């Protein structure tokens, strides 16, 4: 299929020096609160931890180095559904590589895949891919959406983008927010998507599933409820008052860093601190993209548009689709597999893969290997 005749403008990240100077000035002049009573992270991000991270951001972190590294990826801007959208398009040296559409999560950005892209495009690593990484509207350099925006609209935009790039058959992949988008692309363009791979999320039970559970499954459900009840419910917070929170995120880099660090800590649930499992400079590159683009508020649209809200008011996990085969990086219990298969044709359900929530940042090599394992099964007809 020939690419559509639509303008795609080459793009480079070029943050003005004045913006870097302003960031450092704000970090140096931050007003720090007193540490509240409580152990560890029980009251939120500890002051000493965040001060050390902010000092690193101000005095040791080199944005220009990381900006140059991001600019090694070919980047473009195009218009999709009336919005200016930023995306990376990194072709493999192997001309017959399978195109792969990656969708990032929240509160992340295209930075999530920085260390994964090269592993996927390199034919020496195994099955190669041509990689496409769009920035979700409202994130990074993509224009923010108006009200009434949803995942199906993102999926249609992504399908249109792949058509413009000349890709007739391709895979989709994502975690977190991307786990909602990836199967939706298959729903809107099943004749073009060969398979859907997500980091996790298929098969998590809800209260509506409890009546059909046996005793052991009910015990498992109780344990899940206990785990899910911890932390800050950002879904409820950002449904209720995203504009209120956006003032501090947009005006104070320390306020933004505290919020992102808190969420990354909760998502790195098997680590004492998030930088034990994710490179500190990679976390700060993601924070810097949010800061320089002023998108901490606009990126919260999936919550205030109630993307993850079920009909009963509870949390809604991605359900998937049956049009094409699906696989996950992190499988789960027999209960989760059973529930996942209600709405998906599961062909890949591994156990024991390493990592927490943002596995592309934590375990890029294992993540790449699992993506290859899934799409390899499809190629072999398994």
Average pLDDT, the chain: 94
| 57 falls within a domain | yes
pLDDT at res. 317: 86
Provide the 3-class DSSP secondary structure of residue 300: helix
DSSP string, 223-253: HHHHHHTSS--HHHHHHH-HHHHHHHHHH-H
pLDDT at residue number 229 = 65
Distances (CA, A) of 170 to 167, 194, 308: 7, 6, 26
**For residue 239, what is the domain's CATH number?**
3.40.50.1820
**Are 278 and 362 contacting, i.e. CB atoms less than 8 angstroms apart?**
yes
Summarize the confidence of residues 104-121 as an average pLDDT: 98
Distance between CA atoms of residues 195 and 291, nearest Å: 35
In a domain, 209, yes or no: yes
Beta strand 325-328 with 193-198 is parallel
For range 267-271, the mean pLDDT: 93
**185 has pLDDT over 50:** yes
User: What is the pLDDT, as a whole number, of residue 381?
Assistant: 61
Nearest one of 377, 320, 318 to 348, comparing CA atoms: 377
Structurally, the chain folds into a number of domains equal to 1
**DSSP per-residue codes, 39-98:** STTTTSS-HHHHHHHHHHHHHT--HHHHHHHHTTS-EEEEEETTEEEEEEEE--SSTTPE
**Cα 368 from chain centroid?**
15
Q: In the structure encoding, which two tokens stand for residue 60, read together?
A: 């040791």
SS3 category, 9: strand
Q: How far apart are the C-alpha atoms of 237 and 52, rounded to whole Å? A: 27
Q: Which domain holds residue 199?
A: 9-380
The verdict on residue 190 lying in a domain is yes
Give the pair of three-digit tokens for residue 23.
């960031």
In sequence order, what are the residues at sequence separation of 6 or more whose Cβ sits closer than 8 angstroms to the Cβ of residue 373? Answer: 348, 350
Mean pLDDT of 193-220: 92
- What local confidence, expressed as pLDDT, does residue 294 receive? 98
- Are 256 and 300 within 8 A, CB to CB? no
Residues with Cβ < 8 Å from 375, sequence gap 6 or more? Answer: 98, 100, 127, 129, 171, 194, 195, 197
pLDDT of residue 6: 64
In a domain? residue 1: no
Does the pLDDT at position 4 exceed 70? no
Position 3 in a domain:
no
User: How many angstroms separate the first and last alpha carbons of the chain?
Assistant: 27
CA distance 281 to 71: 16
pTM for this structure? Answer: 0.95
Question: What would the pLDDT profile of 276-330 be if each residue is shown by its tens digit?
Answer: 999 999 999 999 999 999 999 999 999 999 887 776 677 788 888 999 999 999 9
pLDDT digits (tens, 9 = 90+) for 213-226: 999 989 998 888 87
- For residue 3, the model assigns a pLDDT of 42
The pLDDT assigned to 259 comes to: 98
Greater pLDDT, 116 or 308: 116
pLDDT in tens, 60-103: 999 999 999 999 999 999 999 999 999 999 999 999 999 999 99
Residue 298: inside a domain: yes
Could you tell me if residue 321 is inside a domain? Answer: yes
Determine the average pLDDT of the residues in 192-204.
Answer: 95
| Residue at 349 is within a domain | yes
Residue 382 pLDDT > 60: no
Question: What is the pLDDT, as a whole number, of residue 1?
Answer: 41
Q: Are 61 and 23 in contact (CB under 8 A)?
A: no
């Amino acid at each position: 299929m020939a690419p559509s005749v639509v303008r795609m403008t080459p793009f480079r990240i070029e943050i003005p020096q004045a913006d870097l100077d302003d960031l450092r000035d704000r970090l140096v002049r931050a007003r720090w609160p007193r540490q509240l009573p409580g152990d560890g992270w029980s009251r939120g991000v500890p002051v000493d931890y965040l001060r050390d991270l902010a000092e690193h951001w101000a005095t040791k972190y080199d944005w220009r180095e990381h900006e140059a590294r991001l600019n090694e990826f070919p980047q473009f801007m195009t218009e999709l559904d009336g919005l200016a959208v930023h995306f990376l398009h990194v072709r493999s040296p192997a001309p017959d590589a399978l195109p792969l559409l990656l969708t990032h999560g929240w509160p992340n950005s295209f930075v999530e895949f920085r260390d994964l892209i090269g592993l996927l495009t390199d034919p020496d690593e195994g099955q190669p891919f041509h990689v496409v990484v769009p920035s979700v509207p409202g994130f990074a350099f993509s224009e923010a959406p108006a009200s009434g925006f949803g995942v199906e609209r993102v999926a249609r935009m992504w399908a249109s983008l792949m058509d413009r790039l000349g890709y007739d058959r391709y895979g989709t992949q994502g975690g977190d927010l991307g786990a909602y988008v990836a199967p939706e692309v298959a729903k809107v363009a099943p004749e073009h998507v060969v398979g859907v791979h997500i980091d996790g999320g298929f098969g998590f039970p809800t209260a509506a599933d409890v009546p059909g559970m046996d005793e052991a499954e009910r015990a498992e459900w109780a344990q899940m409820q206990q785990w899910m009840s911890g932390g800050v419910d950002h879904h409820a917070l950002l449904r209720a008052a995203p504009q209120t929170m956006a003032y501090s995120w947009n005006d104070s880099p320390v306020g933004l860093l505290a919020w992102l660090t808190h969420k990354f800590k909760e998502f790195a649930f098997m680590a004492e601190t998030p930088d034990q499992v994710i490179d500190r400079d990679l976390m700060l590159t993601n924070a810097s993209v949010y800061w320089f683009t002023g998108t901490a508020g606009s990126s919260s649209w999936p919550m205030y548009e109630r993307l993850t809200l079920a009909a009963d008011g509870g949390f809604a996990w991605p359900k998937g689709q049956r049009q094409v085969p699906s696989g996950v990086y992190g499988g789960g219990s027999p209960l989760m597999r059973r529930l996942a298969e209600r709405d998906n044709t599961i062909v890949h359900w591994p156990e024991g893969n390493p990592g927490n929530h943002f596995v592309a940042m934590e375990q890029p090599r294992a993540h790449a290997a699992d993506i290859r394992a899934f799409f390899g099964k499809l190629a072999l007809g398994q």
